[in-house]
């Protein structure tokens, strides 16, 4: 059987099938085209079938291959961390715009390190610190930082618990899905770490905690930027309005959804 014949079976969507075939065979995308008529061995077919079966059971492509692209960089991922998503790139872009030259940034709940490492890659002049409560997540973040030759200080911490210093910018993609949200039992979310998805409450508990304690770790005039759920922007802005923040606002992702909200610590 050839690659073309495998694709014609239609077991998976064509793009997913191509990704998994390339991964099983350790072929490039170009080789998938140039060698599409090669007769595959029994061993090769068995390896492909095993990956197909995992995907047919619902397992995310990123966990099967062990990598996911984010902001044009490849990141190692395992079931110990969330799979980086395109909408989170907005958080990186907003952070890059607001981080002063030679400034310092703190990424809370870094997971795979996608946000912190990408920002460090874009801004080699800046000092990046990233935290996570999971030791395994920090190991993955460390490997991703090394993979892209980026310096990120990694700290095991429950939010600000073990953080020292004061920063020009604080960013986070915290757990924001409510505990009773049915999406937690659907699609890729079934396989991702629940503690990184939900705060086991109303979806705003972690966000509120981050906002409340941020002034202790944020320089005057510094920004706090938070990713949140598709319907949470107004609630997050309200949390900022309850305390002393300026320039409170929300920003839309490429789908037109208010995906990130933030504010500045007043200068005085």
Quick: pLDDT tens for 198-219. Answer: 998 999 999 999 999 999 999 9
What is the number of helices (H) and of strands (E) in the chain? 11, 9
Dig out the tokens for 106 from the structure.
């703190």
| pLDDT band, residue 244 (cuts 50/70/90) | confident
Look at strands 127-132 and 152-156 and give their pairing. parallel
Q: Does residue 197 contact residue 184 with C-beta atoms inside 8 Å? A: yes
> In this predicted structure, what is the pLDDT of residue 9?
93
- Beta-bridged to residue 153, according to DSSP, are 129
Average pLDDT over residues 38-62: 96
d(CA 58, CA 55): 5
Indicate if the pLDDT at residue 133 is higher than 90: yes
Look at strands 167-172 and 104-108 and give their pairing. parallel
d(CA 236, CA 251): 12
Q: Does residue 239 contact residue 204 with C-beta atoms inside 8 Å? A: yes
> In this predicted structure, what is the pLDDT of residue 243?
85
What is the DSSP code (8-state) at residue 198?
B
d(CA 154, CA 88): 20
Indicate if the pLDDT at residue 34 is higher than 80: yes
Quick: pLDDT tens for 75-85. Answer: 999 999 999 99
Quick: pLDDT tens for 162-194. Answer: 999 999 999 999 999 999 999 898 988 999 999
How crowded is residue 32: how many other Cβ atoms within 10 Å of its Cβ?
17
Indicate if the pLDDT at residue 109 is higher than 80: yes
């Amino acid at each position: 059987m050839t690659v073309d014949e495998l694709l014609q079976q239609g077991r998976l969507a064509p793009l997913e099938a191509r990704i998994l075939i390339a991964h099983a065979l350790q072929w490039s995308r170009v080789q998938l085209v140039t060698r599409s008529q090669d007769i595959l061995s029994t061993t090769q077919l068995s390896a492909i079938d095993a990956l197909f079966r995992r995907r047919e059971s619902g397992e995310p492509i990123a966990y099967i291959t062990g990598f996911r692209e984010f902001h044009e960089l490849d990141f190692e991922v395992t079931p110990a961390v969330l799979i980086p998503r395109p909408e989170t790139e907005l958080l990186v872009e907003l952070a890059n715009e607001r981080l002063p030259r030679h400034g310092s940034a703190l990424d809370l709940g870094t997971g795979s390190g996608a946000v912190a490492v990408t920002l460090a890659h874009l801004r080699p002049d800046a000092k990046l610190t990233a935290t996570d409560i999971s030791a395994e997540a920090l190991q993955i973040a460390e490997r991703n930082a090394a993979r892209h030759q980026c310096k990120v200080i990694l700290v095991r911490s429950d939010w600000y618990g073990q953080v020292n210093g004061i920063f020009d910018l604080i960013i986070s993609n915290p757990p924001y899905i409510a505990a009773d949200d049915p999406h937690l039992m659907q699609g890729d979310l079934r396989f991702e770490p629940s503690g990184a998805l939900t705060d086991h409450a109303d979806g705003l508990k972690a966000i509120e905690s981050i906002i409340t304690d941020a002034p202790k770790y944020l320089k005057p005039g510094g920004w706090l930027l938070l990713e949140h759920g598709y319907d949470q922007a107004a609630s997050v802005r309200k949390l900022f309005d309850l305390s002393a923040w300026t320039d409170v606002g929300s920003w839309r992702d490429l789908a037109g959804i208010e995906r990130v909200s933030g504010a500045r610590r007043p200068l005085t």
